[in-house]
């Protein structure tokens, strides 16, 4: 079996569902269930004997040690993290505690467990740490995309905390020999994403006839990766990645934010016209509102995913056009899920964060 941390979040829950659907190996899911961790993401596994959920913190050494002793996982996939730049600007402490301190405690507990394994189990064990392209900083328009050899230049409390965790992972491999793997991914999108991030926020607000807040001029560029492609990449790295190596995972889909928003609006005009929802605007594009840019907003991210394709044979299946259509349709088909996660506290936070 494997242990997944943060498996009730957006990427983690997609990974657990895909793992059980395609690999079938039992999973224990350890999740703290902060605001973005949602057990409803995994309700389909409620009666699945291959799945076990444990409510807890990666920084709780006693809990994690007990879990490792009882479950004897052959691998750990670490998704557990605070992951939203805007929230890290308003409240950095949670990001330091989870992403740095929590990762440290998890590594210490896992190292103790791994050290006591017998020869074959010890040799086969893997610790895969999932990180972000934001650790590399920001690119200028003509710069080459991020490669695994790029220097780290994080620009937000979030990306700095993830960079710190990446360095800890590397150090535990170099110093203690812990068999680690690291992936750094670009912007994910797809089912079960909490609607504070750009794509689900735009879908949610548009369907409600609310303004679509766009930071600054909207020309910030991101590389967009469909979450199911990301999950497949993580599986492949866990299966065949070289120990101690980092693999950048990207979608080869650089898009300015405003173009992403236009694509969503046009797709919603087709699939859920405003008139059919009792809304007055003729098109969803008319709801776009430009708001004050966030502090230190990175201008461009881009991932060069050549290494993982060359070494492991992985490349994304979805284009942005196919992935965004699947995503929009998923949110249209799962409005009860959206209503359940958009609580009063969430609405208050969005109103404060995106005030024009």
Determine whether 134 is an active site residue.
yes
Residue 332 and residue 203: Cα distance in Å, rounded?
Answer: 9
Q: Is the pTM of this model over 0.75?
A: yes
- All structural domains of the chain: 2-190+224-252+296-318 (3.40.50.720)
Q: How many helices (H) and strands (E) does the chain have?
A: 14, 12
Query: How confident is the model at residue 83, as a pLDDT?
Result: 67
Half-sphere exposure of residue 315, counting CA atoms within 13 Å on the CB side? Answer: 9
Residue 67: burial class (beta carbons within 10 Å; 0-12, 13-18, 19+) = buried
Determine which one of 134, 254, 298, 304 is catalytic. 134
CA atoms of 183 and 234, how far apart (whole Å)? 7
Catalytic residue among 158, 192, 284, 354: 158
Task: Please report the pLDDT score of residue 349 as a whole number.
Answer: 44
Mean pLDDT by 10 residues, the chain (356 residues): 97 98 97 87 96 97 98 97 71 87 97 97 98 96 96 93 97 98 98 92 96 96 98 98 98 97 98 94 95 88 98 98 98 93 59 52
Catalytic-labelled residue, pool 31, 82, 86, 133: 133
Tokens 């109103």 -> residue:
351
Residue 103: per-residue pLDDT: 97
Going from the C-alpha of 170 to that of each of 104, 164, 183, 245, the distances in angstroms are 12, 10, 12, 9
What gap in Å lies between CA 345 and CA 330, rounded to an integer? 24
Asked if 113 is an active-site residue, the reply is: no
- Tracing tokens 């793997």 back to the chain, one arrives at 181
Q: According to the model, what pLDDT value does residue 346 have? A: 45
Longest dimension (CA), the chain: 68
Query: How far, CA to CA in Å, does 318 sit from each of 229, 322, 326?
Result: 7, 6, 10
Reading phi first (left if > 0) and then psi (alpha if -120 to 50, else beta), residue 352 is in: alpha
Return the structure tokens found at 69. Answer: 């002793």
Per DSSP, the residues of 22-82 read HT---EEEEE---TT--GGGGGGGTT-TTEEEEE--TT-HHHHHHHHHHH--SEEEE----
| Cβ pair 106, 64 in contact under 8 A | yes
CA 49 to chain centre: 26
70 is catalytic: no
How confident is the model at residue 127, as a pLDDT?
98
């Amino acid at each position: 079996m494997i242990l997944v941390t943060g498996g009730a979040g957006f990427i983690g829950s997609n990974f657990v569902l895909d793992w059980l659907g395609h690999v079938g190996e039992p999973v224990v899911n350890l999740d703290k269930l902060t605001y973005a961790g949602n057990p409803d993401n995994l309700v389909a596994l409620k009666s699945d004997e291959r799945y076990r959920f444990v409510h807890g913190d990666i920084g709780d050494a006693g809990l994690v040690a007990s879990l490792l002793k009882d479950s004897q996982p052959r691998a750990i996939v670490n998704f557990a993290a605070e992951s939203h730049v805007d929230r890290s600007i308003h409240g950095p402490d949670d990001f330091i505690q989870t992403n740095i301190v929590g990762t440290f405690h998890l590594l210490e507990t896992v190292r103790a467990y791994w050290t006591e394994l017998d020869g074959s189990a010890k040799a086969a064990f893997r610790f895969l740490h999932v990180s972000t392209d934001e650790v590399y900083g920001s690119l200028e328009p003509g710069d080459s995309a991020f490669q695994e050899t790029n220097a780290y230049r994080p620009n937000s409390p979030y990306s700095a905390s993830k960079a710190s965790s990446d360095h800890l992972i590397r150090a535990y491999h170099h110093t203690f020999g812990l068999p680690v793997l690291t992936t750094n991914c670009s912007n994910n999108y797809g089912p079960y994403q909490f609607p504070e991030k750009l794509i689900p926020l735009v879908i949610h607000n548009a369907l409600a006839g609310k303004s679509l807040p766009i930071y600054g001029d909207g020309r910030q560029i991101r590389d967009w990766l469909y979450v199911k492609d990301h999950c497949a990449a993580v599986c492949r790295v866990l299966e065949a990645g070289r120990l101690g190596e980092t693999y950048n995972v990207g979608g080869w889909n650089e898009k300015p934010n405003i173009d992403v928003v236009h694509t969503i609006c046009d797709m919603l005009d087709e699939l859920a016209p405003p008139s059919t929802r009792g809304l007055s605007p003729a098109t969803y594009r008319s709801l776009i509102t430009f708001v004050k840019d966030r502090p230190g907003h990175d201008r461009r991210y881009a991932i060069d995913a050549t290494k993982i394709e060359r070494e492991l044979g992985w490349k994304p299946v979805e284009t942005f056009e196919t992935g965004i259509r699947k995503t929009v349709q998923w949110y249209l088909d799962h409005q009860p899920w959206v209503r359940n996660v958009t609580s009063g506290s969430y609405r208050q936070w969005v109103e404060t964060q995106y005030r024009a």
